[in-house]
Structure 1
């Protein structure tokens, strides 16, 4: 991929310029030098396009939809009801002393956002193949816009969580103050995974076909239907390399106060999410030059 730099120089090297004449404006296109994860100036320059892509993601999801924003509620609601019946009442899985409906929904809130964000992010480049071939813009905007747009669904589903907490008369404690940090970690994790898988999916369409299986596998590899306390203590930090472990347990602590805030799990998850994001950006950048050819 090339960068565009503007400079001022004479029409021809060594040519003399008459006194008082204006220099000619020349655009030089040159290759990037060294490893660059992303170009902040370029992303800022395209911030209007980023906002448009986010708005389009939201509009396309709800345009001409009979249920509308109800789709943001149906998925976690039905999953919560199913999990409560199967895992709460039949399997009688421990729910840390709180109603299983609250226990499962507190986990489904971040997990539903994460799974939908990476699904849309992975499909973003392939679905916009025509735009990739016609114009240049930072390709990173496509998966990131999909991830950010899903925060609207997350906010709508959060209202359902509030209503359920009111129904069970379960008010949050001071731990709720950590919620913004958990949201940031959740978004960074979704962005890192999306950037990695998006770059792979452009060249290997098998990634898109495997997404349903990978998301289902990831749900059972995260403490969505069971508490982290079921994992032997000596393996919990290794288990926390999955950043969603700390996020989910953090949500339960912040919203339900069922356990102390899992700082150790969050520390490991933050480090893991940071590595995912940085390596994902580097891999995405290395593959960016071929996206228009293979998309």
Structure 2
């Protein structure tokens, strides 16, 4: 009987794309399973993908737009905050899902072989449904406020790639760390809350002093949020905020791949 021997990749190959393609059905299955598990035995089902961001936006509008009177760059604060929460909720949700992806599937890791990278990827892709549903709500708000997006909308794929790349990069780092350090799971909620105020979700970037604008733009979510606001409100694209974050996002993605690959050999031992 012919035996198959599974050996680790040699050299500098970090991602075996042909192997990932062979396991595309598993990626699809895990993505669908993640969506179903999130809304299993839920009365409202995917309605939570609408209720959560919408009610959060209403709270922000009342507290920050009404009571605190935070500047919203001349636009209705409800639309101002929702344009930021749309990408932010995807980003924060993917961090939570991907950080726990390896630990939650420890039984699979210890029993069968498959590219471990599929687990954080499935966590990232499973949140895309919520992202698309939230986009429908955004369209309704644009119609309600009679706002017509401009030609800048052609840059949306670039920002979405930056968003997914940053989410996957950080997700790979957190998922690999969570296998050895279970504190990641408990600290992540607190960290995400802090990161919310490090991005222009409830306030405008004009509130940041000019001398700190570049350092502030190193946060990848700053360029994504401000870029989305600009394209949907027919304003000039803030490239000075987008490109520094894009570089940082790419670095995080590459580092995440190397770190995940380096830690992959110990997943089965400590999972």
Kindly provide the CA deviation profile for residues 139-168 of structure 1, in whole angstroms up to 9, marking residues without a partner as x.
110011110110100000111111111111
Give the C-alpha shift of residue 207 in structure 1.
0.7
Q: Match for residue 293 of structure 1?
A: 269
Farther off after superposition, 28-37 or 99-108:
28-37
Q: Distance in 1 between matches of 2:241 and 2:19?
A: 35
Give the C-alpha shift of residue 29 in structure 1.
4.6
Q: Distance in 2 between matches of 1:97 and 1:79?
A: 21
Q: Which has the higher helix share?
A: 2
TM-score normalized by structure 2?
0.96
TM-score normalized by structure 1?
0.88
Give the C-alpha shift of residue 262 in structure 1.
1.0
Q: Distance in 1 between matches of 2:6 and 2:86?
A: 46
Contact 1:195 1:281 in 2 (8 A): yes
Give the C-alpha shift of residue 28 in structure 1.
4.9
Structure 2 counterparts to residues 108-187 of structure 1, below 5 A: 108-187=85-164
Q: Match for residue 240 of structure 2?
A: 264
CA distance 1:31–1:143, change in 2 (3 Å) = closer
Q: Distance in 1 between matches of 2:120 and 2:7?
A: 26
Gaps of 5+ in 1: 1-23
Q: Distance in 1 between matches of 2:70 and 2:133?
A: 28
Q: Match for residue 61 of structure 1?
A: 38
Q: Match for residue 204 of structure 1?
A: 181
CA distance 1:34–1:51, change in 2 (3 Å) = same
Matched, 1:215 2:192: yes
Q: Match for residue 256 of structure 2?
A: 280
| 2:77 counterpart (85, 100, 110) | 100
Give the C-alpha shift of residue 26 in structure 1.
6.4
Q: Distance in 2 between matches of 1:192 and 1:32?
A: 21
Kindly provide the CA deviation profile for residues 147-204 of structure 1, in whole angstroms up to 9, marking residues without a partner as x.
0110100000111111111111112111222112211111111101100111101100
SS of the residue corresponding to residue 63 of structure 1 reads: coil
Contact 1:103 1:252 in 2 (8 A): yes
Q: Distance in 1 between matches of 2:237 and 2:136?
A: 22
Tell which structure's C-alpha radius of gyration is larger: 1
Q: Distance in 2 between matches of 1:220 and 1:36?
A: 37
Give the C-alpha shift of residue 27 in structure 1.
4.2
Q: Which has the higher strand share?
A: 1
